[in-house]
Amino acid sequence: MPEARALCSSCDIYCQVTVETEGGQVTRVKAIDPRPGRANICMKGVHAPSGFAHPDRVLHPLRRKGPRGSGEWERVGWDTALDDIAERLQRVVDRYGPESLTRNSINGYKALRAFV
């Protein structure tokens, strides 16, 4: 079974891991060094492959079209999704000022967060 080094991205720690693949799909995620006290992987990382191929995995932007909690969504394009997010963030800045937004970076992962 082919193996490769990778970064687990199931959370923002980004642990270095070894992955086994089959047919281009990750089938197993395991610690690079599995010795007790050195294993760099948690159970969320171990079970990540079950989410990669899950039939309910979101693979494209969705916009809620019904009341919150109704589970009604419509597929939208990336440009539409990003324009919508930019518009909402601009409303936060307009209402609360630019200090209401911050960007954080952990191990190269970047996110924009709004504090309102």
Active site residues: 12
Rg of the chain, C-alpha, whole Å: 19
Instruction: Kindly identify the residues of this chain, within the stretch 17-76, that bind ligand SF4 according to CB under 6 A.
Output: 41-42, 44-45
Give, in order, the Cα–Cα distances in Å from 58 to each of 55, 61, 62, 70.
9, 8, 8, 17
Under the binding rule (CB under 6 A), the answer on residue 13 touching ligand SF4 is yes
> What tokens were used for 73?
């969504």
6 forms part of the interface with ligand SF4 (CB under 6 A): no
Judged by CB under 6 A, the chain residues 82 through 111 that form the site for ligand SF4 are none
**Residue with nearest beta carbon to ligand SF4:** 45
**Quick one: how many helices (H) and strands (E) in the chain?**
3, 7
Decide whether 44 or 64 has the Cβ nearer to ligand SF4: 44
Q: Which residues bind ligand SF4 (CB under 6 A)?
A: 8, 10-11, 13-15, 41-42, 44-45
